[in-house]
Chain A
Amino acid sequence: MNGRPADRTVVCMIEIEHLTKRYGKKTAVDDLTFNVKPGVVTGFLGPNGAGKSTTMRAVVGLDAPTSGLARVNGKHYSEFRSPLTEVGALLEAKSVHAGRSAYNHLLALARTHGIPKRRVQEVIDLVGLHEVAGKRVGGFSLGMGQRLGIAVALLGDPAVLILDEPVNGLDPDGVKWIRVLLKGLAAEGRTVFLSSHLMSELAQTAEHLIVIGQGRLLADTTVDDFVSGNGQARVRVVSPDAARLAEHLAGPGVSIASPEKGVLEVSGTEAAVVGQTAAAHGLVLHELRTDRGSLEDAFMQLTADAVEYRQTTEGASR
């Protein structure tokens, strides 16, 4: 919006340095270090209780770190003279007094910074709440509360957006809308940092990924690298000579499964190797295909040891 051509040195807008947060004996965030850069949407991924919300609260100064630092653009959040234009945060849907209307909630926040009523109306329209803006927030649905939270985050037209599970409770239309919105905001050069427990959701919105589990950093990578690095690539082969092929393919690091007769699922090798092996031994192939593991598989694999609240019935978790 107010973007202006400036020097292209990459600044890190959000810097987390050795952040540790304990609540009593419980360590919610454990020596976490990462940066979030402007211009792209960065996803923040982790299972329930991983410490995502805690980290985000630390960035906006609501929870004080036990040790370490959380800074925005080189400063502690409380040092800003106009916090709402620096960082817009959606921390929990309905961080709103239930008896107040959406309009008045936004207006009260706007007044702290001298933001005009015009801007309040603008964000209300932007998130699609104009029809209910005068109603008490207590009667809002989850999705409406979420939209109000997004309006709050956008109120100061901030350089950094921190959104804790913004798609939670939104309908498919809303999910699509927010995806486009966030990508647009990042394209303007803003820093967009959003959390989710759904890898598939983030993969469609985010370009960069921070993955944590039990308060520790598990991955800090691009979405593409994450998928190829963690998604277990499997080669599926259909062949009348499956049994013999399997013998030739077997080796250290290679695991072969045969879900049905004439079909092999080979992991630990590549399709090209399988094809060459077959050719070298004169074996016929009917199908040769690489199956990339789904994003969700990749995520679950990475966080397998860091899941805190696991269902007791293993079968139900799939």
Chain B
Amino acid sequence: MTAAAMTERPAPYVQPTQYKLSAAGLLGSEWTKLWSLRSTWIVLLCAVVFSAGLGALISGTVPTDLEIGGAETAVGFAMSGVGLSSVFVSVLGILVITGEYSTGSIRSTMSAAPKRLGVLWAKAAVFGAVVTVLFTVMVFATFFLSQALLDGTDLGGISLGDEGVTRALVGYVAMIVYLTLLAIAIGAILRNSAGSIGFYIGVIMILPQLATLLPWDWVSDVTPYAPGNAANTITYVDASGQALGVGESWLWMGVWLVVAYGVAGLLLKRRDM
């Protein structure tokens, strides 16, 4: 049986030629992966509830005799839940990538896309786009809701046309997207869920705040540039008093994303899966 089979080898098999790995394919794949996990739905729902709910709660309970007013404070009240929900979406962004490592599905993913980098870009693009759309809607809806509740107080009567208001609201959306993208890169670098979440919350979110308590002047000079603070300026209606200008703020967000994705990409290419 062996001898016969050896001499009469079948004709070479020709595999299907109509299928090709493509960037569009990778985006579609990440879209499918994102929405086929229950955790995505749960976390995004929590993010929406917190950012709208907290904004509404705080706006709805402002004492009428409070001696405050102005667009800055009004926007700040409306967006009070957004910071919290940015933690939700950042953690989800981390899990989008570390979840693949912890379950081993990264091996399936990377054997379908052996150049690897496309997977990272696709994950960032898909999740970044979802967060952009979701939070654009959320931020503006929460602002209008809050304004409706604040009507009649000194914080009411603010419109998108007022100077700096729309820019600040867009700034909130951009800040959340920026932090989410940063979180995805951290997940790609550390590959471990607990480690990445710990690093993100501890080093990116909390450390720059704690650092301001240190007695050295140079520390407070650099903290505004830290990855977790770089986006702060763009969320102010009047950004003139901030350590970073609006342009600088965008610049530093870009710098940190390039650094984070540069490191993530390099490591992704180099490391064994």
Q: A92-B107, A157-B15 are in contact. Are A60 and B37 (CB under 8 A)?
A: no
B103: contacting residue among A85, A97, A113, CB under 8 A: A97
The chain B residue sitting closest to A87, CB to CB, is: B111
The chain A residue sitting closest to B34, CB to CB, is: A108
Q: Are A156 and B16 in contact (CB under 8 A)?
A: yes
Q: Report B178-237 residues with CB < 8 Å from chain A CB.
A: none
Chain A binding site: helix, strand, loop or mixed by DSSP?
loop
A91: contacting residue among B9, B30, B107, CB under 8 A: B107
Q: Report Cα–Cα, A260/B270, bound state, in Å.
A: 63
Residues from chain A with Cβ under 8 Å of B100 in the complex: 97
Q: Are B13 and A189 in contact (CB under 8 A)?
A: yes
The chain A residue sitting closest to B108, CB to CB, is: A95
Q: Are A2 and B14 in contact (CB under 8 A)?
A: yes
Interface segment out of the listed A61-69, A194-202, A261-269, A296-304:
A61-69
Q: Are A112 and B26 in contact (CB under 8 A)?
A: yes
Shortest CB-to-CB span from A313 to chain B, Å, is 33
Number of interface residues of B (CB under 8 A): 46
Interface flags for A35-51 (1: CB within 8 Å of B; 0: not) read 00111100000000000
Q: Are B103 and A96 in contact (CB under 8 A)?
A: yes
Shortest CB-to-CB span from A295 to chain B, Å, is 15
Number of interface residues of A (CB under 8 A): 64
Interface flags for A158-180 (1: CB within 8 Å of B; 0: not) read 11000000000000000000000
Q: Are B11 and A4 in contact (CB under 8 A)?
A: yes
Interface flags for A105-140 (1: CB within 8 Å of B; 0: not) read 101110111110000000000000000000000000
Q: Are A113 and B107 in contact (CB under 8 A)?
A: no
B262 at the interface (CB under 8 A from A): no
Q: Report B1-15 residues with CB < 8 Å from chain A CB.
A: 2, 5-6, 9-15
Q: A95-B107, A95-B108, A96-B104 are in contact. Are A104 and B19 (CB under 8 A)?
A: no
Q: A82-B20, A94-B104 are in contact. Are A38 and B12 (CB under 8 A)?
A: yes
The chain B residue sitting closest to A115, CB to CB, is: B19
Q: Report Cα–Cα, A112/B33, bound state, in Å.
A: 11
Q: Report Cα–Cα, A83/B30, bound state, in Å.
A: 17
Residues from chain B with Cβ under 8 Å of A95 in the complex: 103-108
Q: Report Cα–Cα, A61/B114, bound state, in Å.
A: 6
Q: Are B29 and A89 in contact (CB under 8 A)?
A: no
Q: Are B19 and A4 in contact (CB under 8 A)?
A: no
A189: contacting residue among B6, B11, B273, CB under 8 A: B11
Q: Could you say which of A39, A87, A158 has the most chain B C-beta atoms within 10 Å of its C-beta?
A: A39
Q: Could you say which of A77, A92, A97, A112 has the most chain B C-beta atoms within 10 Å of its C-beta?
A: A112
A205 at the interface (CB under 8 A from B): no
B240 at the interface (CB under 8 A from A): no
Q: Are A11 and B32 in contact (CB under 8 A)?
A: no
The chain A residue sitting closest to B272, CB to CB, is: A63
Interface flags for B60-91 (1: CB within 8 Å of A; 0: not) read 00000000000000000000000000000000
Q: A94-B104, A112-B112 are in contact. Are A3 and B14 (CB under 8 A)?
A: yes
Q: Are B114 and A111 in contact (CB under 8 A)?
A: no
Q: Report A55-86 residues with CB < 8 Å from chain B CB.
A: 57, 60-64, 77-78, 80-86
Q: List A residues at the B interface (Cβ < 8 Å).
A: 1-6, 8, 10-11, 37-40, 57, 60-64, 77-78, 80-87, 89, 91-92, 94-101, 104-105, 107-109, 111-115, 152, 156-159, 186-190, 207, 222-224
Q: Which 3 A-B pairs have the closest CB atoms?
A: A189-B13, A104-B36, A78-B114
Given A89-B111, A109-B108, A222-B6, 7 more pairs with CB closer than 8 A: A57-B272, A78-B115, A83-B112, A95-B105, A99-B37, A112-B29, A113-B25
Q: List B residues at the A interface (Cβ < 8 Å).
A: 2, 5-6, 9-22, 25-26, 28-30, 32-33, 36-39, 99-100, 103-115, 270, 272-273
